Amino acid sequence: MLHFDTDYMRGAHPEVMRRLQETNLDQTTGYGTDPHTAHARELILQACGLQQGAVYFLAGGTQTNATVIDSVLARHEGVIGAETAHINVHEAGAVEATGHKVIALPAHNGKIDPAELEAWLESFFADGTYEHMVIPGMVYISQPTELGTLYSLGELEAISRICRSRGIVLYADGARLGYGLASEACDATLEDLARLADVFYIGGTKVGALFGEAVVVTRPELFAHAVTNIKRRGALMAKGRLLGVQFETLFTDGLYLELAANAVDKAMQIKRIFTEAGYALAIDSPTNQQFFVLPNAVMDRLHEHATFELWGPRGPKETMVRFVTDWATSQADVDELARLVELAAQP
Amino acid sequence: MLHFDTDYMRGAHPEVMRRLQETNLDQTTGYGTDPHTAHARELILQACGLQQGAVYFLAGGTQTNATVIDSVLARHEGVIGAETAHINVHEAGAVEATGHKVIALPAHNGKIDPAELEAWLESFFADGTYEHMVIPGMVYISQPTELGTLYSLGELEAISRICRSRGIVLYADGARLGYGLASEACDATLEDLARLADVFYIGGTKVGALFGEAVVVTRPELFAHAVTNIKRRGALMAKGRLLGVQFETLFTDGLYLELAANAVDKAMQIKRIFTEAGYALAIDSPTNQQFFVLPNAVMDRLHEHATFELWGPRGPKETMVRFVTDWATSQADVDELARLVELAAQP
Amino acid sequence: MLHFDTDYMRGAHPEVMRRLQETNLDQTTGYGTDPHTAHARELILQACGLQQGAVYFLAGGTQTNATVIDSVLARHEGVIGAETAHINVHEAGAVEATGHKVIALPAHNGKIDPAELEAWLESFFADGTYEHMVIPGMVYISQPTELGTLYSLGELEAISRICRSRGIVLYADGARLGYGLASEACDATLEDLARLADVFYIGGTKVGALFGEAVVVTRPELFAHAVTNIKRRGALMAKGRLLGVQFETLFTDGLYLELAANAVDKAMQIKRIFTEAGYALAIDSPTNQQFFVLPNAVMDRLHEHATFELWGPRGPKETMVRFVTDWATSQADVDELARLVELAAQP
Amino acid sequence: MLHFDTDYMRGAHPEVMRRLQETNLDQTTGYGTDPHTAHARELILQACGLQQGAVYFLAGGTQTNATVIDSVLARHEGVIGAETAHINVHEAGAVEATGHKVIALPAHNGKIDPAELEAWLESFFADGTYEHMVIPGMVYISQPTELGTLYSLGELEAISRICRSRGIVLYADGARLGYGLASEACDATLEDLARLADVFYIGGTKVGALFGEAVVVTRPELFAHAVTNIKRRGALMAKGRLLGVQFETLFTDGLYLELAANAVDKAMQIKRIFTEAGYALAIDSPTNQQFFVLPNAVMDRLHEHATFELWGPRGPKETMVRFVTDWATSQADVDELARLVELAAQP
């Protein structure tokens, strides 16, 4: 059985496991005060081209979003996101649980449109009653988005400019950041992101780590009293060095992007397999998530030998589906999928 | 200068003031344990045709919404409302401040469409990932809505049936309930509302009281430990009898509806004045809020002698405006407005 | 039947009622943007001897405490208070509901001891793990305390100095402030309080108003975005002018202190009545709350003709009780009580 | 350099690492729906002697406490704990951040006294104003406590009986549960705890796992909608099987207790080393944390070759210190410490 359900079905890249094993019996101080964490911080700031900045390591994405958003916003502020934003849909209200509203803007293939954002802010602050409303204090984007799409450099620059002109924080959720950066379609580098966003996180859980996300704060004063705030949200790992060791490994010798490149390469092959077989793209994604519209009969036959998710409800005749690759997807997996797609086309 | 900005510009109906004055030096116990509050409860349950039920008195609308919603929902549940719902727009995130998400559905003249609600719930619970989402625990409607429109009896019945079939609480915000009930267009009585909703509040602040809202809980077990929960939200008035005395007065000899009828009568006259003068209705409201589209020149001339709100931004040529009447709007006010409209039409 | 249960059993001082009546049909804008509120602000700043500062009006004490504390603290900070502090005991967790811990210090007749406060802070910040603890961001005191006692000028100066040396906000709950200021034992004036505290509130509900508390912020930047924060907590009155009119009245011609003086005068007479009859003071209070230890037989006989509270559980032989006076307690009330005490002593 | 600072300085027991490695490239579904998690659940229920019950796996202790307490309590309830309780001191207000008060009772060597608990509850509910207070909904105990001490079976039975008689949930924080169960002084077995507590967690992070805590809910209805509630607090691991694999390993062939027994054995040796050398016990702990009072000179000399924590501030002449062992502390470590203690005694 092949598995293309999602990118967190396996453990960690072997090199990450090797380093965890190697350091396993070392004794270090806790809560991220160890040398591995310090080293990982340094490597990440360097990769981001940042002279200064703070880096914090947390265990998972929802935890990271809730902690960052609550810690950076003033209590009366909310966070703007696309309707399809992970924080708006799939985090069980974790942001609202911290007391902050998610203000949803229309999503265009998972993205906020900069012009719509600007118009919305314009109209918000022009409204004489805005003091009775949730004040927008942050814009949340996902890079790549929940639908695998990417913000272009131009879009990031536009959104960043809009945010800065209004004193609004720009925060990028990079749960799958590697799979974005490794895409040929991506014209915004990690350094660009570090220059344009105020806070963002580099996802490890889905990109080669056992677990872990690295929060980069380019203006550290935004996330004051970080240790206390992270602890308060139950997100301060006792054995913080586990996160340090993992990111140290991923950011040594370009492993992070190398891993990601494999997933994107395999995803592009899968895209070709389906489109060449005549199936429509549901969304045109240049990253490791691929979305197709399949006739139900084809989908059902594929499901006998491969797992993958329905994206939305089963339709009467055809259904939208998602195939996800990761750092470990092999050429053999792709070749076998190609064979299955061919077979499934034959009634 | 005439004032049609809103319905909370004045104090209380003279009869309410008289009773507050009359009881002013009485000494009663606090926190709503006094005989006036008990009597007001009884009168309200009677007016609602309820054999049993609980009634709580709070000082204002936002406070009431946040207290009721937080107290009735389980912590992981959210509240569904129209995009234009007061809780979604104009309460500065008071609901989110209690940890609950407002789930916005499209608004149709301020109303949720029952069929859309049903389809949304159907699709929500059909989604295999719904445990990762905010579970809908309540539907919030405003009767009348923020745009002056009314749910018909049929719509209320449909929404109530949908809610009950899914174990979801139906809560009606009645900040202007009187102005709805007094409308000729309203085919749903107070008794209907009490039969169809699980919780609702009868607004006093905008309908004759100095301040105060009466929360009616038709299934009291929904709002357990009410005193503690109201206190916890800072909404338990020390001199609770002030609320009791006011609602006792409003619900004696039909004063509440009588007051409301005046506002609706005056609003209908104003509607005729504008439409007969050839101006378009922005929204066709049968209650005390009236919305017109006025040429900017006319609007500006009117503004010299009357205050009223722009509903949205000033347009290039014409602008949407709102005129609001209340229990104290006089025939003289309306006649004077008619004269002003006539004058304003002359360039 | 005489009533000495508490100081919120009656309505408002007749002059307050007169002004509410007089302005009842005026139409003003809402949410505290009216001229009465502006005037009340000015009068209060003047009474406080403040050149600048912000004043906000809220409807009740618990609401005020929760709103101020949540708005002034950073999210990871807590508030220090005496174990007997109202916020720690009798507000149903309203402060914790906003996400902040109440850090309780020992109470000495309801008061924090400055030396203990200083030692506690010293030890807190000397602890290497303090980043894993709730950081103290505010000290909360009540003036007078929940037990009727008063902080001396020296104590206030000491606490203020300690707070300022550590960048901690000093907040004074003045629910009964008038009854403190009017006491002969009080050597700290309103101007002193305004000089030494960063935020405090002047209680109206218990001191002559129908309801209402005036929050004075001597360093306005501490309470930024106040309108939005007050609205977010459901504490922004639509008819804000009701609060403005009341405080305008109370702070015209010294009415506030005059009212308070009556209560204190009557309380001192009651103190003499009981002590001269040989009963012990449970607490030696110089303000409008008086605490005695009464033999149960005496207490029971008094209870036949007067209501007052047991302060704690009924003891086997004697019980601690509380008698409270207010701005309206009359000489006749006191004389009648004297007679009852005399009678009750006779078996 | 020897390290006795704490029990989370190393990674995981080699057998846990071996199993993580072995399963690393398997693909399983996420969020704890995998077979390893199911198996771990079964093993744990079996070890607890529970026919039914729910088990959830979370990544860390503070996260677990905040999630369990918030999910189990009604919104207006608080949690009673000893003054020294971890939730009251060292979790940066994580419980208050969820809106619940921690009600602190006096600590006796880290423990709540059952008689004091009973008296407190008795007096709380006898107070006529209790509806204005935070209602106690849970008792939190740590087994072993933060000071290494243990509740006896008799104490646990008494506390459980008190809780059940009042409908209050009993929750035990077992961050170091293994080190308690493995102590000869412990007369309460895991089965006893499962019988007497309603919810408790079995700590993995400090007892052989890389990270992870297993929450056992003996009355599953207490923790309804657990997936959504855990997700809402950011505590639902994407790769849930990492937790499953670890606890599966720890609860196979008695590994968990075996590991713990090593730590306790070494701790008892250390206790003897210091007491036989004439140093006083600061606390008499039968588990893996040992507390001594050392002359400063001795402490300083030891610190040249071993790390351990000061427990409180450095005293003028002597200081309280803590030595902690774990599953990996070796006989060589202990022997070396013995040598150092001997040396340090020689001026």
pLDDT of residue A346: 83
Nearest to A135 among C74, C132, C228 (CB): C228
Candidates D68, D73, D76, D98, partner chain B, best to mutate (most B CBs within 10 A): D76
Candidates B15, B26, B27, B86, partner chain C, best to mutate (most C CBs within 10 A): B27
CB D72 within 8 A of CB D223: yes
pLDDT tens per residue across span C200-227: 999 999 999 999 999 999 999 999 999 9
CA distances from D172 to A336, B266, D108, D134 (A): 51, 65, 17, 21
SS3 A247: helix
Average pLDDT, chain A: 97
Q: Which helix (H) or strand (E) holds D231?
A: helix D226-232
Indicate yes or no: CB of B231 within 8 angstroms of CB of D135: no
Domain covering B256-344 in this structure, CATH number? 3.90.1150.10
Nearest to D10 among A24, A63, A65 (CB): A24
Tokens of B60: 């204002």
What are chain A's partners, defined as 3 or more CB pairs within 8 angstroms? B, C, D
pLDDT tens per residue across span C237-289: 999 999 999 999 999 999 999 999 999 999 999 999 999 999 999 999 999 99
Tokens of C77: 């900070």
CB D207 within 8 A of CB D2: no
pLDDT of residue B346: 84
d(CA C38, CA C243): 11
CB D193 within 8 A of CB D200: yes
B29 touches chain C (CB under 8 A): yes
Domain covering D14-255 in this structure, CATH number? 3.40.640.10
Residues of B in contact with C26 (CB under 8 A): 10-11
d(CA C279, CA A104): 67
CB C55 within 8 A of CB C214: yes
**Mean pLDDT to the nearest integer, A105-109:** 98
The list of chain C residues with pLDDT below 70 reads: none
Query: What pLDDT tens digit does each residue of chain D (347 aa) get?
Result: 999 999 999 999 999 999 999 999 999 999 999 999 999 999 999 999 999 999 999 999 999 999 999 999 999 999 999 999 999 999 999 999 999 999 999 999 999 999 999 999 999 999 999 999 999 999 999 999 999 999 999 999 999 999 999 999 999 999 999 999 999 999 999 999 999 999 999 999 999 999 999 999 999 999 999 999 999 999 999 999 999 999 999 999 999 999 999 999 999 999 999 999 999 999 999 999 999 999 999 999 999 999 999 999 999 999 999 999 999 999 999 999 999 999 999 87
Indicate yes or no: CB of D92 within 8 angstroms of CB of A17: no
Nearest to D27 among A9, A29, A92 (CB): A9
Nearest to C27 among B3, B94, B228 (CB): B3
The list of chain B residues with pLDDT below 70 reads: none
C positions 322-341 inside 8 Å of B (CB): 328
A75 touches chain D (CB under 8 A): no
pLDDT tens per residue across span B265-307: 999 999 999 999 999 999 999 999 999 999 999 999 999 999 9
Q: Which residue has the tokens 């300085």?
A: D9
What are chain B's partners, defined as 3 or more CB pairs within 8 angstroms? A, C, D
ipTM at complex level: 0.97
Residue C287, class by beta-carbon neighbours within 10 Å (0-12 exposed, 13-18 middle, 19+ buried)? buried
Q: Which helix (H) or strand (E) holds D3?
A: strand D2-3
Indicate yes or no: CB of C313 within 8 angstroms of CB of D97: no
CB D262 within 8 A of CB D159: no
pLDDT tens per residue across span A252-272: 999 999 999 999 999 999 999
**What DSSP letter does each residue of C227-286 carry, written as one string?**
HHHHHHTT---TTTHHHHHHHHHHTSTTHHHHHHHHHHHHHHHHHHHHHHTTPEEEE--S
B26 touches chain C (CB under 8 A): yes
Average pLDDT, chain B: 97
Distance from CA of B327 to the nearest CA of C (A): 11
Nearest to A70 among C75, C131, C236 (CB): C75
Nearest CA in chain B to D228: B131
Paired with C79 in beta bridges are C102, C138
Ramachandran angles phi, psi of B329, nearest 5°: -60, 130
Indicate yes or no: CB of B228 within 8 angstroms of CB of D131: yes
d(CA D71, CA A234): 15
pLDDT of residue C346: 84
pLDDT tens per residue across span B208-265: 999 999 999 999 999 999 999 999 999 999 999 999 999 999 999 999 999 999 999 9
Residues of B in contact with A97 (CB under 8 A): 75, 99
Distance from CA of A91 to the nearest CA of B (A): 6
CB A226 within 8 A of CB A67: no
Q: Which residue has the tokens 């029952």?
A: B114
Would you list the domain boundaries of chain C? 14-255, 256-344
Indicate yes or no: CB of C90 within 8 angstroms of CB of D132: yes
Indicate yes or no: CB of B67 within 8 angstroms of CB of C235: no
**What DSSP letter does each residue of B202-238 carry, written as one string?**
EE-TTTTSSS-EEEEESSGGGGTTHHHHHHHTT---T
Indicate yes or no: CB of A132 within 8 angstroms of CB of C225: no
Indicate yes or no: CB of A17 within 8 angstroms of CB of D21: yes
A positions 227-286 inside 8 Å of D (CB): 228-229, 231-239, 242
D317 touches chain B (CB under 8 A): no
Angle subtended at Cα B32 by Cα C306 and Cα B217, rounded to the nearest 5 degrees = 155
Nearest to A238 among D60, D98, D231 (CB): D60
pLDDT tens per residue across span A131-180: 999 999 999 999 999 999 999 999 999 999 999 999 999 999 999 999 99
Closest CA to A205 of A197, A193, A214: A214
Distance from CA of D80 to the nearest CA of B (A): 18
Residues of D in contact with A205 (CB under 8 A): 238-239
Closest CA to A260 of A286, A242, A281: A286
Indicate yes or no: CB of A92 within 8 angstroms of CB of B313: no
pLDDT of residue C204: 98
pLDDT tens per residue across span A262-310: 999 999 999 999 999 999 999 999 999 999 999 999 999 999 999 999 9
Indicate yes or no: CB of D76 within 8 angstroms of CB of B131: no
B135 touches chain D (CB under 8 A): yes
C225 touches chain A (CB under 8 A): yes
Residues of C in contact with D97 (CB under 8 A): 75, 99
Residues of D in contact with A92 (CB under 8 A): 228-229, 231-232
SS3 D278: coil
**Mean pLDDT to the nearest integer, A33-51:** 98
Residue D246, class by beta-carbon neighbours within 10 Å (0-12 exposed, 13-18 middle, 19+ buried)? buried
Nearest to C75 among A135, A229, A236 (CB): A229
Crossing angle of helices A35-47/A241-250, nearest 10°? 40
Nearest CA in chain D to B100: D232
C89 touches chain D (CB under 8 A): yes
